[in-house]
Amino acid sequence: MATELGVSDVLKARKDYNAALASAGRRERATWFPLALLILLTLLPALQITGGHNYTLHLMLYAMMYAAMASSWNILGGYTGYISLGHNVFFCIGGYFSGMILAYFGVTSLLTAPFAGLAAAIVGFAVGLITLKMRGPTFIISSIALLMVARILFDHWQFVGGSNGVALPQMDIPAQWAKLPYYYGMMIVCALTVWASYRIKHSKFGLGLRAISQDEVKAESAGIDTRFYKVLAFAISAFFVGMAGAIWGEYITYLRPNIFLIILVAANMVLMCILGGKGTVAGPIVGAVVLIAFNEFSVTFFGSSEINLLITGLVMVLALKFFPAGIVGTLAKKGRLPRVLDWD
């Protein structure tokens, strides 16, 4: 027997269906996963009780640093659509800011990291006011120019050691536990960055940034102060990268321009975001883990040669062939994203 449906019936059915989907989505969101991951990372240093896991801790610290930096870059590059290839300038500013305070006054970067982030954010805000007037390829080139200017500046600034750099004092801790303060420091920076990235994506500000990435003229005409939004996104993005730089500087006990100001550092942030899924919350973390894992794999099996760069390139080519919107982005579009990675 055929059933006749009126327009209102269809609308009601559609509304019920959407409501059911929404509540199902809420039920299924695996918020426990990032929390479990955080607890696991907190407990990981316990391995040192048996000793000999310094390399594991180093690798995790390195991955957390890049996860934080890629997530931070994602706020500008992913949500707003402005590709910066000079973001390591803020990594450098953070590293030198805290490093010089440590060198001259003996205050650890674990305490000064937020101020280093603030210094990076202030510079980011000022730079953004100028460079964010440009769009597309012009902005990308301006970000590379920023990197080149910063490199020349730090190479010739004798107060911060010039191109020879400056050695930093180390904490008086037994080697077995020496990595722990920085490990936890970087973990906090990483957790804060990912949390901020999530909060921004779900805020009115984040919606504005996504609108800007789609069509800036339309966004401006919708009443969004696009310049303010972009500059603020740039500053926030610089803040977390600056904090990561502060902790990394003291951790490696040496500051030198060619550690911070090589384009590979910025390229890594970009590649990790593209690989994981630009504009998604979990994407940069997945990208950081996958790229670092493949890099370590190639170093382990092929030695410390440039083959790891070749393998990184190969991973990128294959990943983008099969995951054009990044791993998380593509799986989400196909509806195949594992629940544990659905952080958006």
Q: C-beta of 287: minimal distance to another protein in Å?
A: 20
Nearest to residue 234, comparing CAs of 214, 271, 259, 209? 209
User: 102 or 235, CB closer to another protein?
Assistant: 235
What residues line the site for another protein (CB under 8 A)? 10-11, 14-15, 18, 200, 202-208, 210-211, 214-215, 217-226, 228-229, 232
CA atoms within 13 A on the CB side of 26: 5
Q: C-beta of 98: minimal distance to another protein in Å?
A: 26
User: 89 or 211, CB closer to another protein?
Assistant: 211
Nearest to residue 342, comparing CAs of 325, 330, 328? 328
Q: C-beta of 221: minimal distance to another protein in Å?
A: 5
The span from the CA of 305 to the CA of 301, in Å, is 10
Q: Furthest-apart CA pair in the chain: how many Å?
A: 88
Q: C-beta of 201: minimal distance to another protein in Å?
A: 8
Nearest to residue 74, comparing CAs of 321, 319, 275, 314? 275
Q: C-beta of 279: minimal distance to another protein in Å?
A: 9
Q: Which residues contact 181 (CB under 8 A, 6 or more apart)?
A: 108, 110, 171, 173
Q: C-beta of 195: minimal distance to another protein in Å?
A: 14
User: 202 or 339, CB closer to another protein?
Assistant: 202
Decide: 59 and 296 in contact? Cβ < 8 Å.
Answer: yes
The backbone torsions φ and ψ at residue 166, rounded to the nearest 5 degrees and listed phi first, read -145, 140
User: 216 or 250, CB closer to another protein?
Assistant: 216
User: 175 or 217, CB closer to another protein?
Assistant: 217
User: 204 or 321, CB closer to another protein?
Assistant: 204
